[in-house]
Amino acid sequence: MHFEFLALTASIISSTLVSAQSASVTLKQGVYVGSTRSFPSSAVQVNQFKRVRYASQPERFGPPKPVAPSSQQFEATGNAPSCPQGALGIQSEDCHFLNLWTPANAGTNSSKAVMVFYYGGGLQVGGIDQGGRYDGANLAANEDIIVITPNYRVNLFGFPGIVQGIPKDGRNPGFLDQHFVLDWIQENIAAFGGDPKRVMISGQSGGGASTSFLLMSSPSPKFHSAVVESGSGYLFASDWSGLENVLTGGAMPARALPDNFKTLAAGINCTTGDETATLDCVKKAPVRALQDASAAAKLQWGPAPDGGITVPDDLDTAHKEGKIAKVPIIAGTTSKEGGLFNIRASITEFGKAVAAGNTTLEQMFADAYTFGTGEKFANEADAKVQVMTDMMFTCLTAHEMELRINGGETSIYRYFFSAPSPPRGPVHGADIPYLFGTASTTDPSSIELTQTIQHAFANFAKDPAAGPGWAKFGATDGMGIAELGGAGNRGGSKEMKVQDVDGRCNMFFPRYERSFVPLKGLV
């Protein structure tokens, strides 16, 4: 699933870079010299450290490696290259960097809460320096927490799949990067004033799915809470065969397929008959040659089961057997996720694909998404947006969180973001500028909503037992989802009926039953 990025990155509250001041921190791997920023909205200044290395450059497709000890001084003010992908700025395989923002008053004994945010991009694209989209300074200043955004490998470099010569526990280098960041934080965060016992993981879209997978592969987690935004591991670990003709326009989730790597190797003349030699040939090939061959064959690269190191062999079983991180979780979606995508299929085509011959289910589908004058949706375009929103986001989140509730977990919270959010409404990704304080608006209710979301997430990082400020999912009869930015309370939250959000999910659960069976040849 290749998500385009929304152009919503102007600042709600302007920041000032205090160029006369610098900030430094001494780690085993060297001395990093950053900068200090101030905000009119906060008395707290923020020390900003960019391009901080968390791992040495690994071998292609290999696991991340620790940074060697050093007394060298590094400038921590420039942008980091993105890991290799499509056309997104400067790229390099030497991309294992993170950006970090910490209150300037933080000392080594401050024990500030830490929020780690994994970017989105469908596991195909993404990077920590995208025109300020993931600038954590405003959030750190307003909420007195440490914010970290790390790079991780994507597409074929992060998810090569099942390949002879790559061990099963190494099938997902991109996810290994994400785990490795948490190891680095445990060792180094105190030097920035952070508390290694108060680390919250979070992410949106592909980063939300990444957070979901971290929750499924960390029975002894190095984090104490999580926020999953518009993403689920189920999106990438399921078999969506039969939906290829309706999930177009960039909306088909990337899935590891057994022949992907062989197709790639053939495209660059690396097929040798000896699989070890083939892997060595691909490892030595230029990045551009690999990218061109992958694009020519229209390959997408997704996570593969690796025995639960980063992806369980069966996600439902992992939940039912309790082989997961049992920590407080916030999970949310936007009301019009599907509005980001170019959906070509008709409602009728969607219904037939989902029902797969079940005429009763097909009729239920048609009844649920009626459109026209006096119907549930004004037009077919709106109905199709809702189908995508329900099937690929809302109902997968509902399934995953309900598994946790059924397993006895009690600290699960959900939200439903529905703020108008110009220019396209509450589509996939529209909530990110509110979290980071970069939404382009001077509207008082939007500014208040930024404060509401920042405060809720930061409080969850500081003390998840206290909750984000709304009721637990399933805690009250029929209620338990917080609407953020909804009509009547644009700047805050109000409780919603679960039925109003998940009411159409029963139509998709039969399809999920077929989709969640591990694809033959991958386990």
What is the distance between the alpha carbons of residues 426 and 166, in angstroms, rounded to a whole number? 41
> Percent helix, strand and coil across the chain, each rounded to 5?
35, 20, 45
Q: DSSP H helical segments within 152-286, as ranges? A: 155-158, 173-188, 206-216, 233-236, 260-267, 275-284
Return phi, psi of residue 74, to 5°: -125, 135
> Hey, how many other C-beta atoms are within 10 angstroms of the C-beta on 205?
27
Can you tell me the distance from the alpha carbon of 230 to that of 429, in angstroms, rounded to the nearest whole number? 8
Distance CA 256, CA 271 (A): 20
Count Cβ atoms below 10 Å from residue 169 Cβ, excluding itself: 13
Contact yes or no for 337/389 (Cβ under 8 A): yes
Of 440, 459, 451, residue with least CA distance to 485: 451
Interatomic CA distance for residues 215 and 312, integer angstroms: 11
**Looking at this protein, which amino acid is placed at residue 431?**
D
Interior angle at CA 308, CA 304 and CA 313, nearest 5 = 55
Spatial contact of 204 and 307, defined as CB atoms under 8 Å apart? no
d(CA 258, CA 278): 15
CB 59 within 8 A of CB 102: no
Rounded Cα distance, 318 and 308, in Å: 8
Record the tokens describing residue 97, joined without a space: 């960097």
| Residue numbers annotated as active site | 205
Q: How far apart are CA 184 and CA 64, in angstroms?
A: 11
| Amino acid in the structure at residue 387 | V
Closest CA to 399 of 323, 301, 506, 475: 506
CA distances to 20, 232, 314 from 237, in Å: 49, 9, 9
The Cα–Cα gap between 202 and 182 comes to: 12
Enter the tokens of residue 342.
């170019």
Written as six digits, the tokens of 404 are 């946790």
Residue 503 has a CB neighbour count (10 Å cut-off) of 13
Q: Angle at which helices 260-267 and 275-284 pack, to 10 degrees?
A: 60
Could you count the other beta carbons within 10 Å of the beta carbon of residue 216?
22
The answer to whether the peptide bond before residue 423 is cis (omega within 30 degrees of 0) is yes
